[in-house]
Amino acid sequence: MSVTIGTANLEPNLSNGNVGVKVAQLAKEQQEAEGEIALQLIQATAPAAPVGNSGHNVNIKV
């Protein structure tokens, strides 16, 4: 029994330029989606503005 690895069936058909373009488009869309999610997470963790004067002055004297 012999196993051949270099058969034509296993090699991807990259002679068509549309494959590379489609992969690039999908990668760009994925990066944009991940960027949007990251921005939403950052905005969700932003601290709320303090109300009143509480917490504005910090006593540094010991």
Alpha-carbon distance of 14 to 12, in angstroms, equals 6
| Mean pLDDT, rounded, for 29-45 | 93
Per-residue confidence at 10, pLDDT binned at 50, 70, 90? very low
Give mean pLDDT, residues 9-25: 70
Q: What would the mean pLDDT of 17-30 be, rounded to a whole number?
A: 88
DSSP string across 33-47:
HHHHHHHHHHHHTSP
- What's the pLDDT at 46? 76
Q: Would you state the pLDDT for residue 48?
A: 72
Model pTM score: 0.49
- CA 29, CA 4: separation in Å to the nearest integer? 37
Give the residue, 57 or 38, on which the prediction is more confident: 38
